[in-house]
């Protein structure tokens, strides 16, 4: 077989070096180079950074179920379960959580009122809501809250142990009932003379 003429061999070589095969080969090599650079950078970052556990994100809370804690000064003790507190210059009528006066006998009402006035009258108090109770309507006549005085004592607990009220609804009902048992054992307030309540 005779060798190809030189001009024809050059033509085939030129076609291969500038044709679609040459372009595809160059693109493949270029892609491999880029992948190698990116991979090297990634490995470098991984080796420079110490391995740590993923930090937890902020806790996700559902909607709050009650109003915020408020501060104010008692301006009026309406009855042992209801007071008017001045909060930021506005009067707020408060229904004290955990205090039930519906069973307080007539013979103990004056003593219960006097106790409430001595304990709360003019005091700076913290109004603490109870998120376990149903939300209060915007037009409700009173805002339910625990009243905590500056000594960190709850008026609800004090009134129960003193024997002037019954335990009402609230998150801490077991504690309220324990306070009432103390009053019964000590025959305090309405559990002692002149009322001598028995149940």
Which tens digits make up the pLDDT trace of 87-138?
Answer: 999 999 999 999 999 999 999 999 999 999 999 999 999 999 998 888 787 7
DSSP 151: T
Which tens digits make up the pLDDT trace of 12-46?
Answer: 444 444 555 555 555 554 454 544 544 444 444 44
Query: Can the peptide bond before residue 84 be classed as cis, meaning omega within 30 degrees of 0?
Result: no
pTM: 0.65
The structure tokens listed for 189 are: 């307030």
Q: How far apart are CA 125 and CA 144, in angstroms?
A: 14
Q: What are phi and psi of 70, to 5 degrees?
A: -120, 160
């Amino acid at each position: 077989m005779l060798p190809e003429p030189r001009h024809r061999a050059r033509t085939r070589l030129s076609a291969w070096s500038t044709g679609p095969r040459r372009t595809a080969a160059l693109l493949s090599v270029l892609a491999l180079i880029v992948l190698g650079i990116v991979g090297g950078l990634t490995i470098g970052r991984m080796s420079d950074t110490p391995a740590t556990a993923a930090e937890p994100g902020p806790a996700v809370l559902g909607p709050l179920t009650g109003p915020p804690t408020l501060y104010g000064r008692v301006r009026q003790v309406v009855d042992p379960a209801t007071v008017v507190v001045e909060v930021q210059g506005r009067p707020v009528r408060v229904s004290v959580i955990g205090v039930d006066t519906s069973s307080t006998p007539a013979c103990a009402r004056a003593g219960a009122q006097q106790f409430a006035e001595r304990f709360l009258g003019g005091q700076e108090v913290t109004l603490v809501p109870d998120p376990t109770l149903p939300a209060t309507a915007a037009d409700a006549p009173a805002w339910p809250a625990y009243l905590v005085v500056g000594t960190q004592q709850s008026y609800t607990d004090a009134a129960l142990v003193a024997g002037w009220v019954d335990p009402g609804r609230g998150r801490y009902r077991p504690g309220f009932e324990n306070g009432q048992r103390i009053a019964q054992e000590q025959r305090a307030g309405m559990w002692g003379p002149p009322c001598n309540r028995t149940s």
